[in-house]
Structure 1
């Protein structure tokens, strides 16, 4: 009997260890998690939309009247001029939320809990990035819709309008990835928010709200060659049915460089942050 029992025990198949969730499954789970949290945080979502809208109203109805009058135009002309900058500013406000939630995951022990779970930890960062892209594109769509309601009209073809939207979406991806990396390296959510706040000033020191030629001489160099200026100029030209010239590929090169640098930093730093 004992021999039979021994043979039975040794011949029974051993359970196969679980392989865990794959990359795509982890990305789906954490994108859904981030979207659920961001849409539940109604105050942050509302501010990400309302702040750019208030800026657009202020610049259009207060500053726009005087600026357009000085340039021999009207308020509608200035609305067409300022719209790309407002759309990109909306992306910055929305992406700053990403830095905060990534920092919370890194500093509150959530990543430590994930070490014992069988799926790629990097899908947490990618989930936050994908969720932020969805949220920021929605906010940008609201800004553009309100601009049309205020009287914005475009002579752009479908290809030109699609190119402008694509360029704005590319910058949204850039700023989202940059803010995710800032949230990863910051020591706290407050620090991550502070670092990101510095980047939110870039649209104001560009060609977004006023021509570079009208700025003081010591500021023109930075305003003319910083990364947001070619993106804004190319988007503005496309939205108004004009040729973007060389600005579009200069803007694309800036975006590609930022994404490459952010991915490299994430690949170098993230494994150390979640190391056992």
Structure 2
């Protein structure tokens, strides 16, 4: 509304009004603050809202599509996402596999971003040589499609020739490779390794399999993290998403030693 805040010299339609009788796309819904989640839930339930600075209820009828890279159920367990909003949005879920699990899509997407970038940035179209495209296909792309798009656009700007070569690729693309040549994920590998342990535990009637397995998973993870962070426990705990005291207890329980200090 006019006068709702400094600089509001006229009434403007907000996103909810603009999306009425249409579709509202909410990207990265998992990053939405709880305060806004409550307001969104009210709009979805009552199909009404008030303009900023206004007092009149405005009705709306729209389809809502929400996307996120986060696990909303995990956020709910941490009280960072409303359970009622999750159930309100989770009517027709579509799970899209990360880019690393569908490398066959990368050449098609790269070509699309080349043509898109040529139009948006007013630069000449550039081709990607086969060896360079193979590196793009093998890369894990932790940032998914956005990272691929930004990389392609950057290559279009920095390359003065009409071909993107292997030598022109950023160095970080050569560091991340799949766990195996088949692109097997960590979960696939773990499941394959655990299958025999589970069968043996059932046959032998063992009752402490979880206590045996978890240390074998946690020990290499913590050891690698501590080595990569030069045993900076505060930094390691932050990256792992655990409390520093919890990390200290696990180091002691799992018997992880600082090889650097031992060598000194």
Q: TM-score, normalised by structure 1?
A: 0.24
Higher strand fraction: Structure 1 or Structure 2?
A: 2
Higher helix fraction: Structure 1 or Structure 2?
A: 1
Give 1 or 2 for the bigger CA radius of gyration: 2
Structure scoring higher RCO (CA < 8 A, sep ≥ 6) equals 1
Q: TM-score, normalised by structure 2?
A: 0.24
